[in-house]
A and B are shown apart, each in its own frame.
Chain A
Amino acid sequence: MGLKIAIVGCGKIADAHVEEVRKIPSVHLCAVCDTEPIIAEQLAVRYTIPRWYCDVAAMFDAEKPDVLHITTPPQSHLSLTRQAVAAGCHVFLEKPLALHHCDAEAIVASVTAAGRKLSVNYWPRFEAPALELHRLYDSGVLGAPVHLESHIGYDFGGEFGLALRRDPEHWVHRLPGKLFQNMLDHVLNKITPFIDDDHPLIDAIAWCGEAGADETGRGELLDELRVTIRGAQTSAYATFSAHARPVGQTLRFYGTKNTAHVDYAARTVVLERKQTFPSALGRLAPAFLVAKDYLRQGLNNVNSFRHARFHFFEGMHRLLDEFYLSIERDSPPPIPYEEILRVSAMMERIFEQVYPGARA
């Protein structure tokens, strides 16, 4: 039998972890844990997981897992990581990684000091269109990055949004960056690999875009965010919107040679190429070239669907596969720790601007 996996934190996102872990035949999900016994029990019963626990130390003692998935709110990530590596586990953490950047650094330090590995669930980075973007970049089609625009939408009517609206005590409301902190990893982790500066200039503004938000228990929860980032040679915009429709995830990469538009929801990557045709012909060609790209992507997607590789969390499946392989082969983890820490540092600087004083 391969790696033994355990999960701590049996809330909504734990379902996705269970489903993706179970698709990997070389590993075995042995147990789940939650401080709330009813929530641990329901996850174990629904997925027929052999055992469930309310005490993570008891789970470590009894199960001796190789990898611990930490799907609790970030308030507990540092202490759980320390316990996990002390018990000999590698850790796979749900985003956001930590409350503060210093906690993120402590998480990485404790894992490396113990000779274990970690990864964070930056699953969109491992979706097919994201991989295609990196292939285009690595092969030189795009040229050097000039500017990037990363956008993510949010739906307060969805499963996660409803939970947040219904419960004024929800852990997201207690994060220093509140809702943004729970979402911004997915915006920034797409940008950081291309920003050529460890300390870029960051300017952020945010506001509450919905009148009467008080009635839903959300109070003055900010739900629109715009960030400009300027590195030495590359700049970026990061946007979060709870009101723009459709709710989507996109990245636009402006390169010195060509521009790529990545749509993570539609799973497409479209190139906007430098035109070589003269005059009016140069204005006629792009629509057809873009249409051809979309047709190709659509057929690729049909093919993925036909081969059952078109799940919602396909990227997470790929990320987990690579993370488990890196453990088995003792090779570098799929996401470099420096990138994880750059995301966390950028997030902290954004929250300092939109929620000044939240650090306390």
Chain B
Amino acid sequence: MKVLVTGAGGFLGTHVVERLLAHGYTEIRCFLRDRGKAERLLALKEQHPGAQLELCYGNLRSKSDCARAVADASLVLHLAAGLKGAPAELFTDSVVVSRNLLEALEARTDMLISDTRVVLTSSFGVYGVVPLGRRARIDESTPLEDHPERRDTYSHSKLRQEQLFWEYQKKDGFELVVLRPGVIYGPGGGAFSNRVGLQIGPVFFHLGGSNLLPLSFVVNCAEAIVVAASHPDSAGQVFNVHDDSLPSASSYLRAYKKQVKPIHSIRLPYFVTRMLARSLEAYYRHSQGQLPAIITRYKAAAAWGGNRFNNTKLHALGWHQLVATQDAMAQTFEYLRRQKAKQ
């Protein structure tokens, strides 16, 4: 079975390839855009001489590159997505490229799309958590966001991407597995999710308070993707992906300050954040956008309202956390400490 991994050179992608190899997959096509990100994959290739690890360079914006990517692949793990940039860029790199990939799968003549399993890495950002209120429990049955335009553009683009996959699945009848990770973190990643707070100038505004952080250590997340991709009963299913023993935003920040570096932070209680958001919205309207409304009440409710999380469904597939949360945080902070030292 040939496996295609898109975004294979990325933060999550290299770990997914590693977990595929650990699970015994031997024919893996790693599709990546940036040749500068091939180093880890080339090392894996050397470490696994018995496996056929093919590095395929290209851009999923190109339909011909998509055709090259999907040739002979019966399992497609789609990880590539836009993470930053202008909205049109995010939609192009998450949604348009997904459509190109799906059309390339449809266009294959050597293999029916219905014989293909497609695994999409979506996001927690697709959930419509605002109407649920604070402390609501998020699981796979939680409704999707009704007002994506009121959220951040990343969440909006991920929701549209997921909807697109379901539309094509309905039309083409392939096996679709969707994973919705929370905050993916680890060595190679960033220090803070917005759920902890926002760095504005020299000050870190700690907005997450005692909310639980739906952290997913990158190795554990990669394991979840491979377990779900391999399980015969996962087709047509959605799985939330986060670790067990989740820390709160404040305990994460405390640990960061202790293990990486002390930073100046100001904690804003949720009601203050809401008041601030209300003021920013009012100023945004009054000034017709002279300053961006970086915090709105809707965005605040989604990011800092605070939810409870559930990964029972993922566990039922046989997933277990490879790296304990405490060790995962220690590894992450060690990496961040080294990065700071380099600077």
Contact = CB atoms under 8 A, between A and B. Distances in A.
A15 B86 contact: yes
Contact of A12 (B35, B86, B290): B86
A305 B286 CA distance: 12
B134 interface: no
A167 B93 CA distance: 10
B86 A167 contact: no
A10 B91 CA distance: 11
A44 to B, nearest CB: 10
Given A38-B99, A308-B287, A215 B36 contact: yes
Interface string B96-129: 1001000000000000000000000000000000
B95 interface: yes
Contacts of B164: 38
Contacts, number: 75
15 contacts: A11-B88, A12-B88, A14-B88, A38-B91, A38-B99, A39-B88, A41-B160, A42-B87, A46-B153, A46-B156, A48-B149, A162-B84, A167-B61, A169-B62, A308-B287
Interface in B273-321: 286-290
Interface of B: 33-36, 59, 61-62, 84-89, 91-93, 95-96, 99, 148-149, 153, 156-157, 160, 164, 286-290
Contacts of B86: 12, 15, 159-160, 163
B325 to A, nearest CB: 33
A38 B86 CA distance: 15
Nearest to A311: B290
Contacts of A163: 85-86, 89
Contacts of B153: 46
A19 B292 CA distance: 12
Contacts of B99: 38
Given A308-B286, A311-B289, 17 more contacts: A12-B86, A12-B87, A15-B87, A23-B288, A38-B95, A38-B99, A39-B88, A42-B87, A42-B91, A42-B95, A43-B87, A43-B88, A46-B153, A159-B86, A162-B84, A168-B59, A215-B34
B290 A10 contact: no
Nearest to A160: B86
A199 to B, nearest CB: 39
Interface string A1-21: 000000000111011000100
B61 A10 contact: no
B160 A38 contact: yes
Interface SS of chain B? helix
Nearest to A214: B35
Interface size class, chain A:
20 to 34
Nearest to A314: B290
Contacts of B85: 159, 162-163
Contact of A42 (B35, B93, B156): B156
Contacts of A167: 59, 61
Contacts of B93: 166
Nearest to B283: A308
Contacts of A159: 85-86, 89
A310 interface: yes
Contacts of B35: 215
Nearest to B65: A169
Contacts of B149: 45-48
A262 to B, nearest CB: 22
Q: Which of A14, A38, A47 has the most CB of B within 10 A?
A: A38
**Nearest 4 A/B pairs, CB to CB:** A308-B287, A12-B86, A42-B91, A159-B86
A36 interface: yes
Given A45-B148, A163-B89, A19 B59 contact: no
Contacts of A15: 86-88
Contact of A308 (B88, B95, B288): B288
Contacts of A47: 149
B242 to A, nearest CB: 28
A12 B288 contact: no
A39 B287 CA distance: 28
A42 B160 contact: yes
Interface string A182-219: 00000000000000000000000000000000010100
A305 B89 CA distance: 30
Nearest to A10: B88
A213 to B, nearest CB: 12
A284 B326 CA distance: 65
A46 B61 CA distance: 22
A160 B34 CA distance: 18
Nearest to B288: A23
A351 B153 CA distance: 37
A167 B91 CA distance: 14
Interface in A203-243: 215, 217
